[in-house]
Amino acid sequence: VRAEYLADGYGNGARVPESGGGLMTQIDSFIDAQGQRAGSPLLWMNGTDHLLPQPHLGRVVAEVNDADCGYHVKVTSLTEHLQDVPREDLALWKGELRSGARSNLLMGVASARVDVKQAAALAERSLERVAEPLATCWQPPESYPHEFFESAWLEVIRNAAHDSICGCSTDEVNDAVLHRYSEATRVAEAITERSLIRVIATSGQDAVALNPTSRPRSGMLSAIIAGEVAPPNTQQVTLRAARERTDTIDRATAVAVVQRAVVDDPRVSRAELQELDDGTVIATIHSDRQPKQTNLNELRETLERLANENPTGVVHLEVQRLHPTQEILLRSEQVPGFGWRGLAPAELGSNAVRLAGQGLSNGLVRVEADQSNGTFAINGVKGFGRILDEGDCGDTYNWSPPTQDLLVDHPFDVEVSVVESGPVRGRIRITRHYRWPSHVDKGARVGSREVTLETLVEIRAGEDLVRVKVNFDNQCRDHRVRFVLPLVEPADKSVAECAFTTVERQLTAEGGPNEFGLPTFPSRRFITAGGVLVVHDGLNEYELVDIDDTANTGVSKPLARSLALTLVRSVGLISSGPMAMRPLPAGPPTPTPDAQMIGPRVGELVIHLGERDPYEVADEAFTPLLSGRYPAGSGLGDPAAHGCALEVHGAEVSALRRRRDGRVELRLFNTSNTPSLAEVPNRTGAFTNLNGDETGEAFNGQVTLGPHQIVTIALD
């Protein structure tokens, strides 16, 4: 990648003076100050945040060029500029371009307004990983919902303005951002539902498991079936009797309620009314999916007569079904990538979930809670889930500790219970009670709030993953809450996902005079360090912590023993300053009470101890298999029946969607440092650029991707 460092940020030419002479003076001063870092040709970035175009720009440029001063100024684009810059004998840098030495990173934006980061991840995942692939694979080309996708992506793109996605705006802007993500997500969900219906309709199955990703995989799904006893290799979640009383109302209210149930609910065939000797009326609603059998006029007359006789008389509403039904959990057989399989329980064997001592095991992973502090162990490694609450008198841009901080990492009470013990899913609920300071006042954490924090630790049959859900009602301000994971082995670096690749980070970060070099880093979906892989929901801030002191421990270099994930950061200003981590403001001191994140907070993550492909685990964690069923069917399908719309091997798929010309657009990338053979069996097409324009090179079913290469293919 050919990159250019902007030595004075992206606003060195933000405001153009009124005369050519003034512009020449600015350029001279910049070159004198920056020396070789100024670059040749010099890139003069005109414009900055919230600045309208300056109408005198063209005149000033002409004055400079007419002055014969040695400068030739050209108004151009970044793309055109990079086409003319030197490409030989340049300095080589391996890794990410991230330094706070001369420009502020403002690294705290990754943990500001975590609700935005979670909403962004859900919207993008719902569109990119689920709705687009399913619509491409299973809906006819002429029915592909281009306009709906374009509408949804437009909302996501509008949110990409940096202060919007970073959460560094007013509360009103943040509300609009969340609304746009919600709309985009709902569009994706609606398209997904339509694709699922089409698969069910064409599969000939009563129920199917559907895989929206490229890798063949199994997974946990739910099904609704008849009966009161769960079949082998399944787990009952709920049971609904064939007949049950749902409500008790008065006769006057029953006139409308009973008629509406019969008329509006497609599952209801008829209603029967029975008046008992004591005046009580039993209204039986037959929910049997049979043709309508009720004489509505007679039903209405009877209801009105009963209401006129005694408006306040008691009516028991009871639902009669053909048979009892139950919701069950099952682990499906392997579902092809971009494919489906009849929904049926796979044999669990030795990988069924069961009680193991005070915890749970499935033969692949074992979890056990510590009653003394509320943490839990995975495969004997203790200390997962320690909660660290610490002060934050920073802003939406930077975390900054108060002068008198108070760190709380131990609860005053812990409750542990196994709430599900298998065989498909096991769950341990850990409830911890803390006393956290309520806010920061004059540089000190003060006040006290009792906080109940619940951690749900889950394992599933056949999985070597531990799923964790943390939720609490945040009523404290000016603080940061982190979830701490012990490393299996001490580590001096971490690897985290970013766009189309991963990046390696050390234990420290480079700072400068205007910002402390805090080693809290962003991660797109996953982090690996010291034998631990953690996948999180939404862009997350993390830091390697509990670092050995080389002077006292005798180790040759600093090593971290834990990884801390930020669950929430509560702040009350867009920008503050001066403060410990940043001496100068980064924006306006606008109050942001909603950025204190008061109210219910939920964080979800998935932990793996081992060497599995993190991209595979990320999909397994937050892009699950889907299930769908024919409403009048049995609730299960034939596991021998299956279908596959597209096979992809040897590369990650970042996009699968339908082009306007009817062809399928497939974008692949190589995640490794070595070449990789990507294959799309039995398909041909043409390579395109990112805009969809053909490059002239044909695709014949396979391509060797260079390290970290990205290719886009239009499949015939």
C-alpha 160: how far from its chain's center?
Answer: 16
577-580 long-range contacts (CB < 8 A, ≥24 apart) are 577/395, 579/393, 579/394, 579/395, 579/398, 579/400, 580/400, 580/401, 580/403, 580/516
The SS3 of residue 116 is helix
- Poorest-confidence range of 11-15, 22-26, 184-188? 11-15
Q: Which amino acid is at 532?
A: V
Give the E-state strand segments of 362-437 in sequence order. 366-369, 376-378, 381-384, 386-391, 413-421, 425-436
**Phi and psi (nearest 5°) for 222?**
-115, 155
Q: Go through the domains of the chain in sequence order and give each one's CATH number.
A: 7-93 (3.40.50), 111-210 (1.20.1270.50), 243-321 (no CATH), 646-715 (2.60.40.1180)
Strand order in the sheet with 268-275: 243-250, 314-321, 281-287, 268-275
User: 136 with 658: CB under 8 angstroms?
Assistant: yes
Beta bridge pairs of residue 494: 505
Q: Is the pLDDT of residue 700 over 80?
A: yes
pLDDT of residue 51: 87
Q: Which residues contact 154 (CB under 8 A, 6 or more apart)?
A: none
Cα 486–491–492 angle (5° rounding)?
Answer: 140
Instruction: Give percent of the chain above pLDDT 90.
Output: 90
User: 251 with 312: CB under 8 angstroms?
Assistant: yes
Place of tokens 């329980």: 345
Segment (H or E) for 175: helix 171-203
The SS3 of residue 487 is strand
pLDDT of residue 200: 96
Taking the CA atoms of residue 695, residue 699, residue 705 and residue 706 in that order, the dihedral angle to the nearest 10 degrees is: -40
pLDDT of residue 69: 87
Q: Which amino acid is at 405?
A: D
Q: Using 50, 70 and 90 to split pLDDT, how confident is the model at 473?
A: very high
Q: Using 50, 70 and 90 to split pLDDT, how confident is the model at 488?
A: very high
Q: Is pLDDT larger for residue 175 or for residue 10?
A: 175
Q: Are strands 220-226 and 314-321 parallel, antiparallel or unpaired?
A: unpaired
Q: Is the pLDDT of residue 643 over 90?
A: yes
How confident is the model over 73-86, as a mean pLDDT?
Answer: 90
pLDDT of residue 553: 60
Residue 412 CA to residue 374 CA, distance in Å, equals 10
Residue 640 CA to residue 262 CA, distance in Å, equals 39
Q: Is the pLDDT of residue 566 over 80?
A: yes
Q: Using 50, 70 and 90 to split pLDDT, how confident is the model at 103?
A: confident
How far is residue 642 from each of residues 201, 204, 422, 554, 674, measured CA to CA in Å?
13, 10, 27, 59, 34
Q: Using 50, 70 and 90 to split pLDDT, how confident is the model at 629?
A: very high
Q: Is the pLDDT of residue 633 over 90?
A: no
Per-residue pLDDT tens digits for 139-149: 999 999 999 99
Strand order in the sheet with 339-342: 626-629, 207-210, 339-342, 642-644
Please report how many Cα atoms fall inside a 13 Å half-sphere around the Cα of residue 269, on the Cβ side: 10
Cα 604–573–171 angle (5° rounding)?
Answer: 65
Q: Which two tokens stand for residue 715?
A: 């499949």
Biggest CA-to-CA distance, the chain: 109
Per-residue pLDDT tens digits for 293-345: 989 999 999 999 999 999 999 999 999 999 999 999 999 999 999 999 999 99
Q: Which two tokens stand for residue 629?
A: 């069923």
Residue 550 CA to residue 545 CA, distance in Å, equals 14
Instruction: Give percent of the chain above pLDDT 70.
Output: 99
pTM of the model: 0.93
Omega within 30 of 0 (cis) for the link into 41: yes
* Residue (of 671, 666, 669, 680) closest to 714 by Cα position: 666
How confident is the model over 275-283, as a mean pLDDT?
Answer: 96
How confident is the model over 553-566, as a mean pLDDT?
Answer: 88
Per-residue pLDDT tens digits for 113-139: 999 999 999 999 999 999 999 999 999
pLDDT of residue 7: 82
How confident is the model over 696-714, as a mean pLDDT?
Answer: 97
Cα 266–267–269 angle (5° rounding)?
Answer: 90
Beta bridge pairs of residue 537: none
pLDDT of residue 551: 57
Place of tokens 């746009």: 180
pLDDT of residue 191: 98
Q: Count Cβ atoms within 10 A of the Cβ of residue 396 and give its class: 0-12 exposed, 13-18 middle, 19 or more buried.
A: buried
Residue 682 CA to residue 138 CA, distance in Å, equals 18
Residue 346 CA to residue 334 CA, distance in Å, equals 9
Q: Using 50, 70 and 90 to split pLDDT, how confident is the model at 554?
A: low
pLDDT of residue 631: 84
Q: Which residues contact 35 (CB under 8 A, 6 or more apart)?
A: none
Per-residue pLDDT tens digits for 593-611: 999 999 999 999 999 999 9
User: 658 with 144: CB under 8 angstroms?
Assistant: yes
Q: Is the pLDDT of residue 552 over 80?
A: no
Q: Count Cβ atoms within 10 A of the Cβ of residue 107 and give its class: 0-12 exposed, 13-18 middle, 19 or more buried.
A: buried
Q: Is the pLDDT of residue 388 over 70?
A: yes
Mean pLDDT of the chain: 96
